[in-house]
Amino acid sequence: MTDTASPTWRVADLLAALSGTLARQFAGVTVEGELSGFTRAASGHCYFSLKDADGAPALIRAALFRRSAAELRFAPQDGQRVRAIGRLAVYEPRGELQFVAETLAPAGAGALYEQFLRLKAQLEREGCFDPSRQRALPAHPRRLGVVTSRAGAALHDVLTALARRAPHVEVVLYPSPVQGAEAPARLRQALAVANARAEVDALLLVRGGGSMEDLWAFNDPELVRAVAASRLPVVCGVGHETDLTLCDLAADLRAPTPTAAAELAAPQRETLQRALDGWQQLLQDRLHRRLDLQAQRLDRAALRLARPTQALSRERMRLLALAQRLNRAMEQRLDRAPRALEALEQRARQALHRQTERQSQRLAQAQHRLEALAPQRTLSRGFAYLSDEHGQALTRAEQLQVSQRVHATLADGAAALRVEAVTLPLLGAQAGSLK
């Protein structure tokens, strides 16, 4: 029977929850064990397993990603006892528990190396090693600052490299001890002075080789933060190629040696000279081509100016041709004018004739209607027009009186009449008799 009170998880959600829990509970774990099945993929990532070094039946799969693998200071081999610092995680595509190593070192490297790893992890969380904050060095520096010991071999190496490679570059020394208890504070002070003066284009933080204890000043967290916060680009060349300090990781550019730091900061004079020669040759070639083009244009202009009569002759011929075209156009226009006038006259006569016919028809129709309505025509059909002695028309029987004199107009004359009797149709009676 299914318990409806417990939640139902998707596989992906369950693995994500487990991964989050492991990340919170087991961050920054140090594990010591024996390497097994160590491989480096084409991507640069390293995959291996850690077995219990005491022979207990325990094994955990582990991964060292490319960025951390690039910082390995030894060649890992199966069976080697190592110490790894990292975190636990779940590889969700297969649902496997794995250990993601941030650092890997042979076991027994000592407390100083463990302190180095802890400081590295702490400063990395602060963003001191973020690649996005690294700046490019100036392409053509005029003055370089060197932060190192006045009596150290590193200064000699830098000056020798610059004198050979770029003697035109000036060098400003910001002296400081590079070893001992007071070295970190003095190095920070030298960096602060260089940034405050802002008299150089970039800084070289250099020191010769030595043991991890000898180079420890360059792992000081405050010095590392000062390098990361420097307004001037910093090239760090501490120790030999196999040495690595936290200042190397915080600098804008890491050099394997002090000599390499000088070579990276200042381009070789011969290289710059060759580049300038190339630009000079390119400018000369383009200038010659431009001069040749302008010379050709000048020659063509000179040829045109040398024969002004030809230009005048061409314009004269052009004017004559235009005059002929104008005359022909006027003659054609005059030839067409009489024919156009005749056509217009013909159209006017036809329009006038049609208008006259229409008006005559309208007049005949009006005359016919007028004749149909004429009083004389009505009288000719046997009707008479009666009026009283004052000339007022008599149209109704009730206007008449017995013995009244009326005037009758007939179709061919007139007559004076006297009313003998009046008959009103509505009354049906005779009003009087003729006397």
Can you give the CATH number for the domain in which 230 is found? 3.40.50.2300
How many C-beta atoms lie closer than 10 Å to residue 237's C-beta?
Answer: 31
Among residues 265, 257, 211, 209, the alpha carbon closest in space to that of 235 is found at 265
Does one domain contain both 77 and 171? no
Among residues 203, 145, 152, the alpha carbon closest in space to that of 178 is found at 152
Does one domain contain both 155 and 91? no
Rounded CA-CA distance 37/20 in Å is 27
Rounded CA-CA distance 258/269 in Å is 19
In a domain, 214, yes or no: yes
Among residues 27, 267, 51, the alpha carbon closest in space to that of 164 is found at 267
Does one domain contain both 79 and 188? no
Does one domain contain both 92 and 189? no
Does one domain contain both 102 and 150? no
Q: Of 242, 267, 292, which residue sits at a domain end?
A: 267
Domain that holds residue 24: 11-109
Rounded CA-CA distance 404/398 in Å is 12
In a domain, 104, yes or no: yes
In a domain, 167, yes or no: yes
Give the pLDDT of residue 109. Answer: 47
User: Is the overall model pTM greater than 0.75, yes or no?
Assistant: no
In a domain, 332, yes or no: no
In a domain, 361, yes or no: no
- For the chain, what is the largest distance between any 2 Cα atoms, rounded to a whole number of angstroms? 178
Q: Of 109, 125, 155, which residue sits at a domain end?
A: 109
What is the CATH number for 73? 2.40.50.140
Does one domain contain both 190 and 76? no
Judge residue 253's burial from the number of C-beta atoms within 10 Å of its C-beta, 0-12 exposed, 13-18 middle, 19 or more buried: buried
Does one domain contain both 105 and 167? no
Does one domain contain both 59 and 169? no
In a domain, 41, yes or no: yes
pLDDT digit string (tens) for the chain, length 435 residues: 445 567 787 777 777 777 777 777 777 788 888 888 899 999 999 999 998 866 678 888 999 999 888 888 777 877 778 888 888 888 777 778 888 898 888 775 455 677 788 899 999 999 999 999 889 999 889 999 999 999 889 999 999 999 998 888 999 999 999 988 899 999 999 999 999 999 999 999 999 988 777 888 999 999 999 999 999 999 999 988 878 899 999 999 999 999 999 999 988 766 667 777 778 888 888 888 888 888 888 877 777 765 667 777 788 888 889 888 888 888 888 888 788 788 888 888 888 888 988 898 998 888 888 877 777 777 777 788 888 888 888 788 888 888 888 888 887 888 888 888 888 875 444 444 433
In a domain, 365, yes or no: no
Q: Of 109, 130, 164, which residue sits at a domain end?
A: 109
Does one domain contain both 149 and 254? yes
Give the pLDDT of residue 90. Answer: 80
Does one domain contain both 149 and 40? no
In a domain, 355, yes or no: no
Rounded CA-CA distance 325/337 in Å is 18
Rounded CA-CA distance 353/356 in Å is 5
Q: Which two tokens stand for residue 28?
A: 């920054």
**Number of domains into which the chain is organized:** 3
Does one domain contain both 104 and 148? no
Among residues 245, 165, 231, the alpha carbon closest in space to that of 203 is found at 231
With a CB cutoff of 8 Å and minimum separation 6, the contacts of 220 are 184, 187
Does one domain contain both 179 and 224? yes
